[in-house]
Structure 1
Amino acid sequence: MFELRKLPYTKDSMGDFLSPVTFDFHYGKHHQTYITNLNNLIEGTEFSNSELFDIVTKSKAGLFNNAAQVYNHDFYWDCIAPKQTQMSLDFEEAIKRDFGSLESFKEIYLKTATTLFGSGWCWLVYDKVSGKLEIVQTSNAATPITEGKIPVLVVDVWEHAYYVDHKNARATYLEKFYNHINWDFVSKAYEWAQKEGINSVRFYMNDLHKKS
């Protein structure tokens, strides 16, 4: 059985970015529901003893939606922190190489997240083939790992991620998100993406979800 991962911070640590009420609903209810649904859907199927990575990359329809949303949310929680941390020099150089400057990256990333129509996610991914970082949008539960892209940063732009605190002001939420990015985690995700490719995602999932 899969279990809801623990948050790496307290739910009252994000100031005016995310309130405890948002965590109660987004983490305590939405994320938990995906876990519960996933456990129910895999029972008695070929995926009953599978790793989360294999379920996400091999399943379809409702099973995929719930499994992918477990991972998407797991990763999102690690991409934010009570206070913005420092990015590594290697990652900073990669951002400047692929986007021109840190300022340019921020502008492009936030614009891409703001303009995503409907519910979904805005990712920064590493393409192992090209060796470059890319910004991609996915809708609903879709996740870049099904395309072989390796996430290093994500923001949740489903309305339930920000409506309690920011109503329909997605741009305000995103600006505050940027000030709470856990660059230390993102830098390490980039480092592992370069070293291990898509397997770094499997390792990440298995570290959070040791089957019980």
Structure 2
Amino acid sequence: MLSTKAFSAGRQLARAASSARVGAVRSKHTVPDLDYDYDELEPVISAKIMRLHHDKHHAAYVANLNATEEKLRNAEAAHDLAAQVALQPALRFNAGGHVNHTIFWKNLIGEKNGGGQLHACALKTAIEQKYGSLETLSAQVNAKTAAIMGSGWGWLTFNPATASLDVITTANQDMAAAVGHVPLLGVDAWEHAYYLDYNNVKADYFKNIWRVVNWKDVAQRYDAAVAKHRAA
């Protein structure tokens, strides 16, 4: 049985997922449109993977999240605490899947449109101060992400506890926010993110994905995280 702390965490995840949607409180979550064509990330990520990943996998998380939230609302209306607790794992998993992928799509852009290019900015300075270089940072993210047993995510985050950048991993669809970190850049380590292109050589996927990182988006997330931390 889930603890009170775990139950509370599940509700926080639902609220985080809700921030990705617009409209009435009871409106349904939707899969966000991509800012680019399916084939823009080639040859790093094929159009075939993008269609499956975005239109099928992400859509499944959204559909299951909407269904779980509906069940949760019914359980709350019936004051059925046992049912509410039982729904928390599905809520956590599908809310995380929706939020993580929503960040992931924004974190990517084709090479011809600036993918992989980190220009002078506060984030670049922070990376060089802590890791020495972008190459050293990417190597650390890749090593930690490759070490995930099973499925999960590798993250570059802003850690409010230290007011600095951090590299962490999360299992399955757990969110960086669930452990107090602000997600800046996520690397999807689930097989569906790379297997059709790289088969079992996931190290090549981790190496190549840096060519299509949208550093403008990551830098904006960093600036927002730092500003919020300073204002707190």
Smaller-chain TM-score range? 0.7 to 0.9
- 1:17 is matched with 44
> Distance between the aligned counterparts of 2:217 and 2:211, measured in 1?
14
Task: Judge conservation of contact 2:40–2:110 (CA < 8 Å) in 1.
Answer: yes
Q: 1:26 aligns with which of 40, 53, 58?
A: 53
Task: Judge conservation of contact 1:87–1:187 (CA < 8 Å) in 2.
Answer: no
1:78 and 2:109 correspond: no
Q: 1:66 aligns with which of 94, 98, 101?
A: 94
- Opposite residue 123 of structure 2, the aligned amino acid is F
Alignment of 1:34-49 (within 5 A): 34-46=61-73
Look up the SS of the partner of 1:2 in the other structure.
coil
Offset of residue 196 of structure 1: 2.1
Task: Judge conservation of contact 2:118–2:124 (CA < 8 Å) in 1.
Answer: no
- Which has the bigger relative contact order, CA under 8 A and spacing at least 6? 1
Look up the SS of the partner of 1:43 in the other structure.
helix
Compute the RMSD of aligned alpha carbons: 1.9
**Cα distance per residue 1:147-199 (max 9 Å; x no partner):** 211011110010010001111111111111011110000000000111125xx
Alignment of 1:178-193 (within 5 A): 178-193=210-225
Rate the CA distance shift 1:47–1:74 in 2: closer, same or farther, 3 A: farther
> Distance between the aligned counterparts of 2:134 and 2:94, measured in 1?
34
Unmatched 5+ stretches in structure 2? 1-27, 76-86
For normalisation by structure 1, the TM-score amounts to 0.83
**Cα distance per residue 1:73-99 (max 9 Å; x no partner):** 111111111121334421111011221
Rate the CA distance shift 1:98–1:43 in 2: closer, same or farther, 3 A: same
1:154 and 2:181 correspond: no
Offset of residue 47 of structure 1: 9.3
- 2:159 is matched with 127
Rate the CA distance shift 1:87–1:112 in 2: closer, same or farther, 3 A: farther
Q: 1:169 aligns with which of 178, 198, 201?
A: 201
> Distance between the aligned counterparts of 2:199 and 2:107, measured in 1?
22
> Distance between the aligned counterparts of 2:120 and 2:94, measured in 1?
33
Task: Judge conservation of contact 1:120–1:138 (CA < 8 Å) in 2.
Answer: yes
> Distance between the aligned counterparts of 2:226 and 2:142, measured in 1?
24
Task: Judge conservation of contact 1:126–1:133 (CA < 8 Å) in 2.
Answer: yes
> Distance between the aligned counterparts of 2:65 and 2:134, measured in 1?
38
Unmatched 5+ stretches in structure 1? 49-58, 198-212
Paired residues in the alignment total: 188
- 1:8 is matched with 35
Offset of residue 34 of structure 1: 0.4
